[in-house]
Amino acid sequence: STGAMLEDQGHKFTQAADGAAPLAALEPEPAGYDLIVSDYAMPVLSGADVVEKARELHPELPGIIITGYAEAQSISRRPKGVLVLTKPFTPDQLGEAIAYVSPAPRKAAAAV
């Protein structure tokens, strides 16, 4: 449903089933993505790990971690500047989160 929200807001996105897939997509073209939106509880790597490793390829990449299991304050080990968005959330809340972490116009988002 997050992908549908991104699409409705005019974003292009790549959807991934686990934490390793977005890194594989970023590796050949790190500048091709300008935002990571990841669930915190992911197979293989957590959302925090995904953003951390993605920033090794693209250091300024903004990130949003989505969670339904943990409060934002409890995800203490997350990369700097990463916003935590708690489920359930509305399309407006997602849009506000994107604007907050990266007010520049969006090219493409990676939703995992």
* Residue 102: predicted pLDDT: 84
What are the residue ranges in the chain where pLDDT is below 70? 70-76, 103-112
Q: Is 35 helix (H, G, I), strand (E, B) or coil?
A: coil
Residue 9's Cβ-count burial label (10 Å; 0-12, 13-18, 19+) is middle
* Residue 43: predicted pLDDT: 86
